[in-house]
Amino acid sequence: MTRLAMLVLAMTLAAGCAPAARDPAGAPSQSAAPQAAAQQPAVGGGAGFQQLVERARASDGRLRSGLASYTPEYIRAIEARFEQRFGIKLRLENEPGHSSREIPPKILQAQKAGKGVVDWVETGNPSNFAPLMEAGALQVPPWDALTEEWPQIAELRQLYPNAPGGPNGTTLQDYCMLQTQAIWTLVYNTRNVRPSEVQSLALDDLLTDRWRGRLAFDADALGFKELPFARDWSLERVQAYTHNLGTNGLKLISGGSNGVVQALIQGEGDIGFMTADTALDQISTGAPLALAWPDVIPTNDLGTCIPAITANNPDLAALFFGWRDVEGQWLRAELGGGGARPFYAPEADRYLLARMIKEAGVTADRLARPTSLDDYRLIDKHRAAAMEAQKAGIQGGAKVPYPWACQRQHAACVQ
């Protein structure tokens, strides 16, 4: 088992009781973090970091990336807090497209013309970012300068799944660091679903008549790509499962988790499957949603990197890259949303999601997650198979045999 796998599995049960996270100045955890951040000097770290900040201050303050998963409140809070921290008036611009599925191909295409399309790229796993690395489309960030201010960045680099194949023998950890430990779970509209209806809900329960026509899931098979890594699951089972979801009136929503959460809020479905942090962002603003924890919970480790050619200001991009992945994650938690790194013990107490996972009794054996480079290389195949199966189920209308439920005498049994 890899070092990353051991860390994540061990920390799953310990997340809720992890020691208080501390910022670089030694301040205590979440409740005191915003005040401490405001009291920090505009420039900290060593000489290398101070020089990076000064170069960033010479920019026009514009940065661009795929911001579809960001709420307007979070964007405004980022701009305000970053200006407070460094005296730089930040202006974030959105590049249309899913941050990890659609932005990386845009980067590759723009590079051929010698142009930059975004200033940082995020929420990608090795299968999203390795092609960028192999094409020389990523730059090595100023790690030394960034770790002068945020020492935990050194560990976040090591926690991002590695992959070889970069120029001059470099690997993915030379370019990227862990940003988010993404967790997919069921989210329901509290106006139409009672908590008792989803208590101890199994994924197979969604194949029953009770949920016919009430499901709104991602058109690109969000979350299903990890299911074959779960205990008692396989790609064959995932294909049969997603096919039968289609026959049960599944509604396919574009736009990833952000699209699914909006569909639920608008009443297009009563229950969806999405990343927990996306749901928490909306719940914190008053959306009528709540989380339900099924018997199998897909998860993986997502990173962030800087393109070799940035869209606007390279020094500002590097500074923001470091700040966003540390203090920007804390800010998201402060606003009431975001799951960030619930299995990373030094920060676990900062994130509501870590406490929710502990309270829900989620154990490591319920996680479906890739743990090796070979696993990550399989997930696109898994996604494509699930996408094809769910569409076939919708178009065909007839269920296929699903003996896995029959083995447990489950109501979803189809022979």
Q: What is the pLDDT along the chain (415 residues), one digit of tens a residue?
A: 444 343 434 333 333 333 333 333 333 333 333 333 344 345 667 999 999 999 999 999 999 999 988 889 899 999 999 999 999 999 999 999 989 889 999 999 999 999 999 999 999 989 899 999 999 999 999 999 999 999 999 999 999 999 999 999 999 999 999 999 999 999 999 999 999 999 889 999 999 999 999 999 999 998 899 999 998 999 999 999 999 999 999 999 998 888 999 999 999 999 999 999 889 989 988 999 999 999 999 999 999 999 999 999 999 999 999 999 999 999 988 888 778 898 898 988 889 999 899 899 998 889 999 987 789 889 889 999 999 999 999 999 899 999 997 555 445 555 4
- Kindly state whether residues 314 and 290 are assigned to the same domain: no
Same domain, 166 and 295: no
CB atoms inside a 10 Å sphere around CB 15: 24
- How far apart CA 344 and CA 97 sit, in angstroms, is 29
Any domain includes 7:
yes
| Cβ count near 17 (within 10 Å) | 11
Structural domain range at position 85: 3-180+300-348
Q: Residue 400: inside a domain, yes or no?
A: yes
Which residue in the block uniquely carries the two structure tokens 């170069």?
Answer: 55
Specify the 3-state DSSP secondary structure of 360. Answer: coil
Q: Are residues 312 and 295 in the same domain?
A: no
| Position 15 in a domain | yes
Q: Could you give the C-alpha distances from 233 to 352, 362, 408, 412, in angstroms and in order?
A: 29, 18, 14, 16
Q: Let me know whether 250 and 325 are in one domain.
A: no
User: Is there a domain that residue 353 lies in?
Assistant: no
Same domain, 79 and 225: no
Read off the DSSP letter of residue 29: S
Residue 144 is predicted with a pLDDT of 97
289: left (phi over 0), alpha (psi -120 to 50) or beta: beta
Predicted TM-score (pTM) of the model is 0.78
Residue with tokens 């101890």: 200
Domain count, the chain: 2
Which segments of 160-234 does DSSP mark as H helices, in order? 195-198
- 171 with 305, same domain: the answer is yes
Shared domain check, 233 and 93:
no
Nearest-angstrom CA–CA distance, 375 and 229:
8
**Residue 415 domain-assigned (yes or no):** no
The token pair at 171 is: 């690997």
Identify whether residues 88 and 78 lie together within a single domain: yes
Rounded to whole angstroms, how far apart are CA atoms 130 and 104? Answer: 10
Boundary (domain end) residue, out of 309, 327, 348: 348
Does residue 244 share a domain with residue 130? Answer: no
Q: Is 365 in the same domain as 323?
A: no
**For the domain that residue 294 is a member of, what is the CATH number?**
3.40.190.10
3-state secondary structure of 16: helix
Which of 150, 159, 154 is closest to 126 using CA atoms?
A: 159
Are 46 and 171 in a shared domain? yes
Assigned domain for 413 exists:
no
Residues 260 and 287 both lie in one domain: yes
Q: Which residues contact 113 (CB under 8 A, 6 or more apart)?
A: none
In a domain, 411, yes or no: no
**Domain-located, residue 412:** no
